[in-house]
Amino acid sequence: MKKLKRIPKFKNEDEEREFWSTHDSTEYIDWSKAERAYFPNLRPSSRHISIRLPERLFEQLRNIARQKDVPYQSLMKIYLAEKVKEELKTGT
Protein backbone atom coordinates (compact mmCIF):
# COMPACT_ATOMS: atom_id res chain seq x y z
CA MET A 1 0.00 0.00 0.00
CA LYS A 2 1.32 3.39 -1.02
CA LYS A 3 1.97 5.89 1.78
CA LEU A 4 -0.14 8.97 1.26
CA LYS A 5 1.16 12.49 1.64
CA ARG A 6 -0.47 14.81 4.17
CA ILE A 7 -2.76 17.47 2.67
CA PRO A 8 -1.40 20.89 3.65
CA LYS A 9 -3.48 23.52 5.46
CA PHE A 10 -4.59 26.32 3.17
CA LYS A 11 -5.10 29.98 4.05
CA ASN A 12 -7.95 30.41 1.57
CA GLU A 13 -9.74 28.87 -1.41
CA ASP A 14 -7.43 30.55 -3.92
CA GLU A 15 -4.40 28.95 -2.30
CA GLU A 16 -6.11 25.55 -2.26
CA ARG A 17 -7.22 25.91 -5.89
CA GLU A 18 -3.66 26.73 -6.93
CA PHE A 19 -2.31 23.72 -5.01
CA TRP A 20 -4.72 21.21 -6.56
CA SER A 21 -4.16 22.61 -10.05
CA THR A 22 -0.52 21.51 -9.81
CA HIS A 23 -0.75 18.32 -7.69
CA ASP A 24 -2.21 14.85 -8.25
CA SER A 25 -4.87 14.03 -5.64
CA THR A 26 -4.00 10.30 -5.76
CA GLU A 27 -0.81 11.12 -3.86
CA TYR A 28 -2.94 12.50 -1.02
CA ILE A 29 -6.21 10.55 -1.07
CA ASP A 30 -6.98 6.82 -1.32
CA TRP A 31 -9.89 7.03 -3.74
CA SER A 32 -10.59 3.29 -3.42
CA LYS A 33 -12.09 4.05 0.00
CA ALA A 34 -14.23 6.92 -1.23
CA GLU A 35 -18.00 6.76 -0.78
CA ARG A 36 -20.58 8.40 -2.97
CA ALA A 37 -22.17 11.42 -1.32
CA TYR A 38 -25.78 12.42 -1.83
CA PHE A 39 -27.15 15.91 -1.24
CA PRO A 40 -30.88 15.55 -1.92
CA ASN A 41 -31.80 19.01 -0.63
CA LEU A 42 -29.00 20.90 -2.36
CA ARG A 43 -30.31 23.61 -4.65
CA PRO A 44 -28.44 26.02 -6.85
CA SER A 45 -28.27 29.47 -5.37
CA SER A 46 -30.89 31.84 -6.68
CA ARG A 47 -31.88 35.45 -6.34
CA HIS A 48 -35.37 36.75 -5.74
CA ILE A 49 -36.35 39.51 -8.18
CA SER A 50 -39.43 41.50 -9.03
CA ILE A 51 -40.36 42.12 -12.62
CA ARG A 52 -43.18 44.14 -14.10
CA LEU A 53 -44.93 42.52 -17.07
CA PRO A 54 -47.79 43.71 -19.18
CA GLU A 55 -50.97 42.07 -17.86
CA ARG A 56 -51.66 40.36 -21.19
CA LEU A 57 -48.16 38.82 -21.35
CA PHE A 58 -48.49 37.60 -17.77
CA GLU A 59 -51.87 35.97 -18.48
CA GLN A 60 -50.48 34.34 -21.64
CA LEU A 61 -47.57 32.90 -19.64
CA ARG A 62 -49.91 31.60 -16.96
CA ASN A 63 -52.15 29.97 -19.57
CA ILE A 64 -49.21 28.26 -21.25
CA ALA A 65 -47.94 27.10 -17.86
CA ARG A 66 -51.37 25.64 -17.02
CA GLN A 67 -51.43 23.78 -20.34
CA LYS A 68 -47.97 22.37 -19.63
CA ASP A 69 -48.91 21.67 -15.99
CA VAL A 70 -45.93 23.57 -14.58
CA PRO A 71 -45.77 26.60 -12.28
CA TYR A 72 -45.60 29.82 -14.28
CA GLN A 73 -42.40 30.88 -12.46
CA SER A 74 -40.71 27.66 -13.60
CA LEU A 75 -41.87 28.22 -17.15
CA MET A 76 -40.49 31.76 -17.09
CA LYS A 77 -37.11 30.46 -15.88
CA ILE A 78 -37.06 27.87 -18.67
CA TYR A 79 -37.88 30.48 -21.30
CA LEU A 80 -35.27 32.90 -19.95
CA ALA A 81 -32.60 30.19 -19.79
CA GLU A 82 -33.33 29.10 -23.37
CA LYS A 83 -33.14 32.65 -24.67
CA VAL A 84 -29.91 33.42 -22.79
CA LYS A 85 -28.33 30.21 -24.14
CA GLU A 86 -29.44 31.17 -27.66
CA GLU A 87 -28.04 34.69 -27.33
CA LEU A 88 -24.72 33.41 -26.01
CA LYS A 89 -24.41 30.99 -28.94
CA THR A 90 -25.05 33.66 -31.56
CA GLY A 91 -23.05 36.32 -29.76
CA THR A 92 -25.69 38.97 -30.28
Express each pLDDT in 23-32 by its tens digit. Answer: 999 999 999 9
- Write out pLDDT tens, residues 46-88: 889 999 999 999 999 999 999 999 999 999 999 999 999 999 9
Give me the pLDDT at residue 42, please.
Answer: 85
- The shares of helix, strand and coil residues in the chain, as percent rounded to the nearest 5, are 55, 0, 45
Closest CA to 75 of 83, 64, 87, 85: 64
Q: According to the model, what pLDDT value does residue 1 have?
A: 65
pLDDT score at 31:
92
The model's pTM is 0.52
